[in-house]
């Protein structure tokens, strides 16, 4: 029985061999290297299909893991992170990569397919002199950087790229990050001084600022310098390496200084709140003890400085450079060759724009007027907010109120009512005047009183008060808020 089975198997093998195409039975042709291969017309349909698929596979360019260095002015963009509903920096970059054929459209729609990651997330309006992206792209393209930049707006630039290890992650491999804050020096002027562009910062004030900034160096619980993070959570602990204020300099008649902070990582509004409380202490709005209170578990009212001057300076990869930068295969992520181009971009599109915007719109000066509405003390969670009095929303409500007229010379003035309106509300106005004769103080510089006693509609008052109380919900927004350019006023109800 076994002998018959073996004979049958032998017959099957012989029949299969007879059906195969032998090299001698097929016409052949020589390629450029002299190697013989069958002619296409002599191949079967299956063999032709296999040849076509192998040819297409050979034409596909390989994707490589790289670290891409970018810089951008965040003005007009809702941060860097991908968001299909609004315009962001990463949206622009992915569009440019698709047009350059570095990535397919499906990778732009689902960035996880190309292991996409950013070193630092910047919020709305915040710029970056150097930020790093890690991703897998096709780099075997002639003049790759020029082609990518040709599809980007002028305020966004790709400076260069480096081949990295397969597991490189620009966020997780980043050791620490450096941010800078360009601030007009009049922000540190004492309360008794009149705030103008003519203010000049003395060496004593610079020393005082550096002394306050040094209080944040080290490991602390920064739950009071962000939102929706409890003191008991591990992520509330952050490590600040250095925090300094540089020498002031004058640009277009206004004096500025650069505050530089380097830390392991930062939370939402973290840097802006540290600078905000430093300004309040140096000006005299509160004492130094507020910083000591902020380390305690309870919530403390900490002001948040404007985001206009904030800029990401550089992410650092010291450990990666030490381990892989000298292995002879991978280049270190130090970007020495691109430094001249980076400095030129910073000066032309970031530094100059920040200082020009501050000089024209006086964002910092408007924000200084809101410091007096902070308590700089422990507050309940329900009352916890970045700005205890939202001047921007109040002024917007005033603009929509039909009983308030905005005048270009003085700012705001209460509109006089008609004779019928006065007759109907005469009794209620007299009663209201007896109950409340206090003024709403917005700033001590400009005081505007109504020409006649007019009662602001109670509905508008309720709306304004409700707007002041609901600002806690605004802390979840990753936005850089800037007050509207309007003169501070004093309204008499």
For residues 392-411, b (16+ Cβ closer than 10 Å) or e, as one string? bbbbebbeebeebeeeeeeb
Q: At which residue do the structure tokens 């949206």 appear? A: 91
354 Cβ partners below 8 Å, 6+ apart? 127, 182, 308, 309, 311
Pairing of strands 439-441, 490-492: antiparallel
Beta strands in 139-276 (DSSP E): 156-163, 176-184, 218-221, 237-245, 249-251, 254-263
Q: How many CA atoms lie within 13 A of 142 on its CB side?
A: 0
Task: Report H helices in 163-288.
Answer: 203-213, 270-283
Distance CA(145)–CA(274), nearest Å, equals 38
**Which among 365, 354, 355 has a CA at the least distance from the CA of 484?**
365
Task: Report H helices in 263-390.
Answer: 270-283, 289-294, 318-324, 339-345, 352-361, 363-368
483 is catalytic: no
CB 176, CB 96: distance < 8 Å: no
> Which of these is catalytic: 20, 32, 40, 123?
123
- The structure tokens listed for 276 are 């905000």
**Which among 283, 210, 200, 282 has a CA at the least distance from the CA of 242?**
210
Hey, which residues are catalytic here? Answer: 123
């Amino acid at each position: 029985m076994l002998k018959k089975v073996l004979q049958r198997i032998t017959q099957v093998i012989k029949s299969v061999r007879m059906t195969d195409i032998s090299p001698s039975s097929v016409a052949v042709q020589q390629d450029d290297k002299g190697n013989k291969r069958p002619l296409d017309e002599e191949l079967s349909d299956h063999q032709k299909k296999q040849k076509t698929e192998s040819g297409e596979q050979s034409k596909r360019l390989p994707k490589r893991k790289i670290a891409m260095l970018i810089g951008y002015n965040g003005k007009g963009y809702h941060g860097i992170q991908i968001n299909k509903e609004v315009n962001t920096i990463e949206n622009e970059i992915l569009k440019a990569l698709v047009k350059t054929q570095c990535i397919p459209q499906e990778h732009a729609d689902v960035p996880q397919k190309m292991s996409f990651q950013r070193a630092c997330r910047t919020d709305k309006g915040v710029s970056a002199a150097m930020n790093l992206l890690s991703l897998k792209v096709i780099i075997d393209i002639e003049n790759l950087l020029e082609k990518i930049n040709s599809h980007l707006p002028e305020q966004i630039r790709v400076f260069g790229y480096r081949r990295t290890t397969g597991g490189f992650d620009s966020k997780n491999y980043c050791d620490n990050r450096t941010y800078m804050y360009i601030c007009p020096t009049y922000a540190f002027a004492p309360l008794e001084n009149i705030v103008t562009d003519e203010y000049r910062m003395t060496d004593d004030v610079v020393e005082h600022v550096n002394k306050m900034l040094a209080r944040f160096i080290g490991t602390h619980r920064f739950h009071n310098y962000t939102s929706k993070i409890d003191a008991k959570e591990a992520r509330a602990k952050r490590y600040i390496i250095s925090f300094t204020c540089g020498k002031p300099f004058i640009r277009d008649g206004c004096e500025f200084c650069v505050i530089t902070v380097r830390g392991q990582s930062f939370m939402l509004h973290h840097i802006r709140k540290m600078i905000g409380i430093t300004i309040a202490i140096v000006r005299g709005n509160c004492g130094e003890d507020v910083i000591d209170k902020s380390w305690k578990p309870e919530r403390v009212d900490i002001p948040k400085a404007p985001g206009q001057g904030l800029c990401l300076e550089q992410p650092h990869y010291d450990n990666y450079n030490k381990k892989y930068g000298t292995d002879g295969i991978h280049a270190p992520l130090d970007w020495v060759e691109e430094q001249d181009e980076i400095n030129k971009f910073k000066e032309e599109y970031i530094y100059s724009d920040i200082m020009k915007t501050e000089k024209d719109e006086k964002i910092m000066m408007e924000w200084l007027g809101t410091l007096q509405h902070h308590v700089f003390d422990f507050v309940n969670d329900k009352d916890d907010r970045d700005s205890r009095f939202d001047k921007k929303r109040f002024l917007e409500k005033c603009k929509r109120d039909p009983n308030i007229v905005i005048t270009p010379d003085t700012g705001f003035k209460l509109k006089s009512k008609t004779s019928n309106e006065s007759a109907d509300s005469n009794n209620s106005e007299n009663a209201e005047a007896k109950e409340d004769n206090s003024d709403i103080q917005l700033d001590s510089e400009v005081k505007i009183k109504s020409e006649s006693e007019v009662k602001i509609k109670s509905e508008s008052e309720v709306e304004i008060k409700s707007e002041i109380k609901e600002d806690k919900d605004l802390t979840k927004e990753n936005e850089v808020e800037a007050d509207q350019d309007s003169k501070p006023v004093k309204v008499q109800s």
